[in-house]
Structure 1
């Protein structure tokens, strides 16, 4: 009997898609369990396996649960050695971890504030998000992927920038990433989404657009109607 691997995720989440991409890159079979996060109808199993944060993704390996996508990615890389997603050199590994955390700790919060924050703070948040992308672009340093010739930890962590970002930009009408301003990062997005294994993990674009448009409209309407 081999490894039993399960992923609790949501179809439109870049975080659960990160985990699926890492598993597919390594050729690890897994069972995917869809959670109804948008409907706020979390399963008892999800709450049992991630009692601290109560959110996806949750990775289950032979009955042992692990939460938080970046932690899960490292566990996958440590457990299945083929097609490594982190460098072997300790310094290079530390740098990859740094950039992956930079995406989650710096870019994503700024991006979220640019979309959903109070109107008077959005312009500043947009500039902050643009600056984060410019900083991240420097990490490519002429390479095809952040991981070099192959997709690695930082590329997987940046999947939101590679696919989700362009869809949301179009809906909102705010340009953060363009070929003119960030040519290397823009080229990376093309390279990333063109990989067949990446395509297998991307959600349907039209369905994703509809969900984000509804959510953004809902938040903006609530802000407009809020007491001044």
Structure 2
């Protein structure tokens, strides 16, 4: 039987969520980064994921699964031990809500910072405005996570998922770590700061975050690829909203004019991009 294969990019927080889940369960798998991901040349990858984005999981029997939350659910149901979500329906719903906020709102902030600092979509005053809005928004998400941790601590639970390190923690940790890499840190001595330190003691989390940070080496060159029209970043849903509401409408219009941004694949045979 073939080995489990996760198509990913180390910087993708969605892929990081799935890698931590597999590693916590001790499942053997291989990681593959699709050729030319982000450049518009991923037609072959459409056979695995018609959305043309990572992560995508190919199971041992050849079934392809896309979307990090669906992949997480598959992993949890296929290998139920150790569990990565509570048994109580209310606690499980709460963990899923945290995951949804991370995936559909917080992620966009770090993605936007990458657009500014790596891809140089904005410079000067515009970059300052977008970065300041990102800082303010990040502080809001830190407060949200701090509050969630405080509620669990009252019940004697150490994790966002509740009694175990699980889906909510795996959705949040890549984002908090990315914020820290951009210079935004939880307050020293806070519950969130302690949670980060506690999570990073787990081999699954430490390896996954370290892989993400290591993959940033060489990112200084990607801005030139954008200027040459060789790189198309995906601006769908929450990411597009973040850029517009944070003051970067001109980033969007310029990207459309130069053909260096894309929106969600419409399931045609020329899809492109990464999540």
TM-score band, normalised by the shorter chain? 0.7 to 0.9
Q: Which moved more, 1:23-32 or 1:84-93?
A: 23-32
Alignment counterpart, residue 192 of structure 1, candidates 191, 199, 209: 199
Partner of 1:23: 22
**Structure-1 residue corresponding to 2:65:** 66
Q: 2:177 aligned with 1:179, yes or no?
A: no
Change (3 A) 1:28 1:204: closer
Over 3 Å counting, the alpha-carbon distance change for 1:112 and 1:216 in structure 2 is farther
Q: Secondary structure at the match of 2:165?
A: coil
| Distance of aligned partners of 1:11 and 1:112 in 2 relative to their CA distance in 1, 3 Å threshold | closer
| CA offset digits 1:81-122 (Å, max 9, x no partner) | 101111111111111110000011121223434554662444
Q: Deviations over 1:122-162 (max 9, x none)?
A: 43343122212211221112343213453110111113134
Q: For 2:146 and 2:136, how far apart are their aligned partners in 1?
A: 15
1:163 and 1:56 mapped to 2: Cα distance?
19
Give, in whole Å, the separation in 1 of the partners of 2:213 and 2:22: 25
What number of residue pairs does the alignment pair up?
213
- Quickly say closer, same or farther: Cα 1:16–1:132, change in 2 above 3 A: same
One of 39, 55, 67 as aligned partner of 2:53: 55
In structure 2, the CA distance between the partners of 1:133 and 1:49, relative to structure 1 (3 Å rule), is same
Counterpart CA distance in 1 for 2:6 and 2:168 is 20
Query: Which residue is equivalent to 2:174?
Result: 160
- Structure 1, unmatched stretches of 5+, are 170-174
Partner of 1:101: 100
Q: Is the 8 A contact 1:115 1:216 kept in 2?
A: no
Alignment of 1:97-176 (within 5 A): 97-113=96-112, 116=115, 119=126, 120-141=129-150, 142=153, 143-169=157-183, 175=184
Deviates more, 1:125-134 or 1:85-94: 125-134
User: Aligned runs of 1:215-226 on 2, under 5 Å?
Assistant: 215=222
- Matches of 2:148 and 2:104, distance apart in 1: 16
Q: In angstroms, what is the RMSD of aligned CA positions?
A: 3.0
Q: When the two structures are superposed, what TM-score results if normalisation uses the length of structure 2?
A: 0.66
Deviations 1:9-66 (A, max 9, x none): 123333222212111111222232232425655371x211111x20111011221111
Which structure 2 residue ranges, 5 or more long, are not aligned? 117-121, 228-249, 255-275
Moved more, 34-43 or 67-76: 34-43
